[in-house]
Chain A
Amino acid sequence: MRESERGHAAKIRQERWAFGLIRALSGATIIILAAIVGFILWRGLRYSNETRSPYLPYAERSPEGVAILVNGGLRLEELDFEQLLGIYSDEYINWAKICADATDLLPLALEPGAPGAGSAEALVFGQAPAWGALVEFSPTPEALLERLASTPGSIAILPEPALAGLKPEARRIGLRRLVVAMNPEAAELVNERSVEEISLGDLAGLLRGSPASWAALGGPELPVRPLAPESRGPLAAALEAAGLEAPLPAGGTPAEDSGQDTCAAIASTPGAVGFAFARDALGAGLPLLRLRGRETGWNLKLRYLLEEPRLSGRAGGISTIILNTLSMLLLTVGIAGPVGVAAAIYLVEYARQGPLLRLLRLGTETLAGIPSIIFGLFGMLVFVDLLGFGFGLLSGCLTLSLMILPTIVRSSEEALKTVSPALREGSLALGATKLQTVFRVVVPAASPGILTGLLLAVGRAVGETAALLFTMGSDYKLAKGLFSSSRALSTHIYLLFAEGISFDRAFSTATVLIAVVLAFNLAAKRLVGRMSRNAAR
């Protein structure tokens, strides 16, 4: 009696352990899944990148009373000072290196003698103007604005007073020119290292004198001496507009500060550090502290879905790629669907069950397990080369069709097998032929299952990369025909990663792809639900 009670207790304990283990494992699976999908969605929706730049993240709309305007077609919000300097001294001939736009660049300015032209000149060059040969001068602000409006990729600098009363058909952009300059002695090499960068968070501390010595930042044993401009000059005004706390004044601060004076003070004071205009700091040859910050924002915008990709996907959106993917799916299902369903009908309804059929089933199952890259190689050799279809939609879709065919055959077979034999008998007993029975009763009854299989296969096709790489090409423009090379979402993700174009964009595209796959799976689930409701007696 007691023996059996003990056995019973042990069983209960065992049960509990097993139950706990199963719960823990299933919980872990769910957590892992949620983590993966959550991470990809998060990375796809938001970006958060470390930035390293000597420029403070603050763009002035009207630096020293000068407006910077660009042609309305240019996608550009702001420039930093070195870019502006480069534009006006022939360093760039198009916009590709500055923003994601390959338009030719045309710098415009007022003629040096024109009224007010000096302030623009001073903004860019300071005391020593050195206009590039590409710069086009206009005699009047009106002429300049007209040229600006009519020339894509043009940029103009002109003093604000000249703009008064005019309605320019151009966009005004901001200029980032505030930097943190340091005394050259503070940037000297110590143990083959030097102070180069600081996080934006630590900057305020540094400018208040903490840490007290450059050694704390990996520099020489030199006291940190923050310098600030006197309150009336343009630098002080710019800092105030930016809402930046000016560092505490320390010895040797110049009385009248044009910005250049601060730089001179920094250059002559050992261990000094302070805000400066890039123009002056570069002119004085001062080392600049690089600022480490973090930039966050929405990654996946509606614009990304609606715009065409440009510059290998570096810019623009993915609209044509989405359309290419959809036409790829339609074509693939159009090829593989009828063939696969017909094969399944033959296997279930007509073929004699025997060794040959078993071999065929084994073959389909094996085919379903073959890695897609092999289908890709096959597709390249046969469709692209041998049949001469070239890299294009047709080759890619034929390859994909081959790849998903086994899945479609298997799932359609299962769907057809679940149709009750009673239905077949009922139809045949009414004098229907085999063909009528199959197409009027069996296939309609199995259609939800067949459709489910098709949708799952499509879900597999939409995520396929390897089979497409060698067969469908990678042109991101809208496919113009069956033989036109085109890029699918999955290939786009791969290329964005592989060519190092943009992780953010790759993740955005991945989010879209996941949404597409999810949509297909949900549709499949609904169909399964409908099927089981119909089958319920």
Chain B
Amino acid sequence: MPPAVKISVRDLDLWYGSVQALRKVGADIASRSITALIGPSGCGKSTFLRTLNRMNDLIEGVRVEGVVEYEGSSIFAPGADVIELRKRIGMVFQKPNPFPMSVYDNVAYGPRIHGSPSRRAADRRALDEIVERSLEQAALLEEVKDRLHKPALGLSGGQQQRLCIARVLAVEPDVLLMDEPTSALDPISTSKIENLLEELKKRYTIVIVTHNMQQAGRVSDAVGFFLHGELVEYAPTKEVFFNPKDKRTEAYISGRFG
């Protein structure tokens, strides 16, 4: 049985001012799988990722044409709720960006802004549970449980990145977008996060941009190869790596450029 489609993209064009960054991109992203986006710098993979939760809206002069459907409804429809969309489609950035507050407050940030600001004891307990569960899911709880109320900026880079993941998980999203989440981390932290991805895949749909070919091979179920704003090849990981259909893909994967 083919996996259900979570996000469907068709004929997506995107311009930054007069520069076209995406050309006729089309892809179906399967539910509860890891999709890796690879390609040389500036090829449009991050732009594509940021289109999926409309983070590109924040940049002035961006124009988008085409269709992006999340669970069957267009995210660019006039009535679409961008707040709700971002709640459902969470994002982890290249550089860990914890807020300058405590570990606890970082994770509780999402639930707090979405929930009611009540300070009742029952709510506080519920919030405690959410924070604990999210940190657990991000495989960080063991390391920080004694310093929940210490500044998050005191954590190591890898811990900070996992904290950012926990922060996203706390709003109970459906899809996780990850923009080179390990590029700023050391190998040990990287492997921790890769193991984490395996776990998260069971519950979430994950789209990850990576420069690391081995990483893409290790963790992903499907790979999309971008070049000059085009999605050159999009197929299950094994096929892309062992039997690429396009010559450019083969050239890139075998390390002849990029």
B109 contacts A427, CB within 8 Å?
yes
Residues of B within 8 A of A537 (CB): 153
A426 contacts B90, CB within 8 Å?
no
Contact with A along B38-78 (1 / 0, CB 8 A): 00000000000000010100100000000000000000000
B153 contacts A534, CB within 8 Å?
yes
CB distance from B155 to the nearest CB of A (A): 11
Instruction: Pick from B58, B85, B99, B113: contact of A445, CB below 8 A.
Output: B99
Q: How large is the interface on B (under 10, 10 to 19, 20 to 34, 35 or more residues)?
A: 20 to 34
B114 an interface residue at 8 Å Cβ cutoff?
Answer: yes
Most buried by B among A432, A436, A444, A535: A432
Query: Could you list some 20 contacts between A and B, CB below 8 A?
Result: A422-B97, A423-B97, A423-B99, A425-B58, A426-B98, A428-B55, A429-B168, A430-B109, A430-B171, A431-B85, A431-B86, A431-B114, A432-B83, A433-B83, A444-B99, A444-B101, A534-B100, A534-B151, A535-B100, A537-B153
What 10 pairs across the A-B complex have the smallest Cβ distances?
A431-B87, A422-B97, A429-B91, A431-B86, A426-B97, A430-B110, A431-B83, A445-B100, A432-B113, A436-B113
CB distance from A402 to the nearest CB of B (A): 33
For chain B, what secondary structure do more than half of its interface residues adopt (helix, strand, loop), or is it mixed?
Answer: helix
Residues of B within 8 A of A14 (CB): none
CB distance from A340 to the nearest CB of B (A): 22
A425 contacts B99, CB within 8 Å?
no
Instruction: Pick from A422, A433, A441, A445: contact of B93, CB below 8 A.
Output: A422
A440 an interface residue at 8 Å Cβ cutoff?
Answer: yes
Which positions 375-426 of chain A face chain B at CB distance < 8 Å?
Answer: 420, 422-423, 425-426
B129 an interface residue at 8 Å Cβ cutoff?
Answer: no
Instruction: For the complex, give the distance between the alpha carbons of A537 and B156 in Å.
Output: 9
Q: A430-B109, A534-B153 are in contact. List 6 more A-B contacts (CB 8 A).
A: A423-B100, A426-B167, A427-B99, A428-B55, A428-B86, A429-B55
B135 an interface residue at 8 Å Cβ cutoff?
Answer: no
Instruction: For the complex, give the distance between the alpha carbons of A421 and B150 in Å.
Output: 23
CB distance from B154 to the nearest CB of A (A): 10
A426 contacts B83, CB within 8 Å?
no
Instruction: For the complex, give the distance between the alpha carbons of A414 and B188 in Å.
Output: 38
For chain A, what secondary structure do more than half of its interface residues adopt (helix, strand, loop), or is it mixed?
Answer: helix
Q: Provided the pairs A431-B87, A433-B83, A537-B153 are in contact, do residues A426 and B99 lie with their beta carbons within 8 angstroms?
A: yes
Instruction: For the complex, give the distance between the alpha carbons of A155 and B58 in Å.
Output: 84
B11 an interface residue at 8 Å Cβ cutoff?
Answer: no
Instruction: For the complex, give the distance between the alpha carbons of A441 and B97 in Å.
Output: 12
Residues of A within 8 A of B99 (CB): 423, 426-427, 441, 444-445
B136 an interface residue at 8 Å Cβ cutoff?
Answer: no
Residues of B within 8 A of A427 (CB): 99, 109
Instruction: Pick from A420, A431, A433, A444: contact of B110, CB below 8 A.
Output: A431
B100 contacts A430, CB within 8 Å?
no
B95 contacts A430, CB within 8 Å?
no
Most buried by B among A426, A429, A436, A534: A429
Residues of B within 8 A of A433 (CB): 83, 113
Q: Provided the pairs A430-B86, A432-B113 are in contact, do residues A422 and B55 lie with their beta carbons within 8 angstroms?
A: no
CB distance from A534 to the nearest CB of B (A): 5
B110 contacts A428, CB within 8 Å?
no
B143 an interface residue at 8 Å Cβ cutoff?
Answer: no
Instruction: For the complex, give the distance between the alpha carbons of A444 and B99 in Å.
Output: 10
Q: Provided the pairs A431-B86, A534-B151 are in contact, do residues A422 and B95 lie with their beta carbons within 8 angstroms?
A: yes
Contact with A along B167-181 (1 / 0, CB 8 A): 110010000000000
CB distance from A101 to the nearest CB of B (A): 58
Instruction: For the complex, give the distance between the alpha carbons of A245 and B252 in Å.
Output: 109
B53 contacts A440, CB within 8 Å?
no
A430 contacts B87, CB within 8 Å?
yes
Please report A residues at the B interface, Cβ cutoff 8 Å: 420, 422-423, 425-433, 436, 440-441, 444-445, 534-537
B84 an interface residue at 8 Å Cβ cutoff?
Answer: yes
B58 contacts A428, CB within 8 Å?
yes
Q: Provided the pairs A420-B97, A425-B97 are in contact, do residues A430 and B167 lie with their beta carbons within 8 angstroms?
A: yes
Instruction: For the complex, give the distance between the alpha carbons of A426 and B171 in Å.
Output: 13
Residues of B within 8 A of A420 (CB): 97
Residues of A within 8 A of B171 (CB): 430-431
Instruction: For the complex, give the distance between the alpha carbons of A333 and B205 in Å.
Output: 51
Closest to A432 in B: B113
B164 an interface residue at 8 Å Cβ cutoff?
Answer: yes
Contact with A along B99-129 (1 / 0, CB 8 A): 1110000000110011000000000000000
Contact with A along B6-39 (1 / 0, CB 8 A): 0000000000000000000000000000000000
A430 contacts B93, CB within 8 Å?
no
Instruction: For the complex, give the distance between the alpha carbons of A363 and B235 in Å.
Output: 58
Q: Provided the pairs A422-B93, A425-B97, A445-B100 are in contact, do residues A430 and B113 lie with their beta carbons within 8 angstroms?
A: yes
Most buried by A among B83, B100, B151, B167: B100
Closest to B177 in A: A429
CB distance from A247 to the nearest CB of B (A): 80
Residues of B within 8 A of A422 (CB): 93, 95, 97
Residues of B within 8 A of A426 (CB): 93, 97-99, 164, 167
Contact with A along B207-251 (1 / 0, CB 8 A): 000000000000000000000000000000000000000000000
Residues of B within 8 A of A428 (CB): 55, 58, 86
Instruction: Pick from A431, A436, A444: contact of B100, CB below 8 A.
Output: A444
Instruction: Pick from B90, B109, B153, B168: contact of A440, CB below 8 A.
Output: B109
Instruction: For the complex, give the distance between the alpha carbons of A428 and B82 in Å.
Output: 10
Instruction: Pick from A423, A429, A441: contact of B53, CB below 8 A.
Output: A429
Instruction: For the complex, give the distance between the alpha carbons of A422 and B55 in Å.
Output: 12
Most buried by B among A423, A425, A426, A537: A426
Instruction: Pick from B86, B101, B113, B153: contact of A429, CB below 8 A.
Output: B86
CB distance from A520 to the nearest CB of B (A): 24
Residues of B within 8 A of A441 (CB): 99, 109
CB distance from B225 to the nearest CB of A (A): 25
Residues of B within 8 A of A440 (CB): 109, 113
B101 contacts A425, CB within 8 Å?
no
Instruction: For the complex, give the distance between the alpha carbons of A537 and B153 in Å.
Output: 7
Residues of B within 8 A of A444 (CB): 99-101
Instruction: For the complex, give the distance between the alpha carbons of A430 and B55 in Å.
Output: 11
Most buried by A among B83, B84, B85, B151: B83
Closest to A353 in B: B60
Closest to B88 in A: A431
CB distance from A432 to the nearest CB of B (A): 5
CB distance from A243 to the nearest CB of B (A): 69
Most buried by A among B58, B97, B98: B97
Instruction: For the complex, give the distance between the alpha carbons of A210 and B242 in Å.
Output: 119
Instruction: For the complex, give the distance between the alpha carbons of A109 and B66 in Å.
Output: 110
Residues of A within 8 A of B113 (CB): 430-433, 436, 440
Instruction: For the complex, give the distance between the alpha carbons of A432 and B115 in Å.
Output: 11
Residues of A within 8 A of B84 (CB): 431
Closest to B151 in A: A534
Residues of A within 8 A of B95 (CB): 422
Residues of A within 8 A of B85 (CB): 431
Residues of A within 8 A of B114 (CB): 431
Instruction: For the complex, give the distance between the alpha carbons of A165 and B208 in Å.
Output: 102
B153 contacts A430, CB within 8 Å?
no
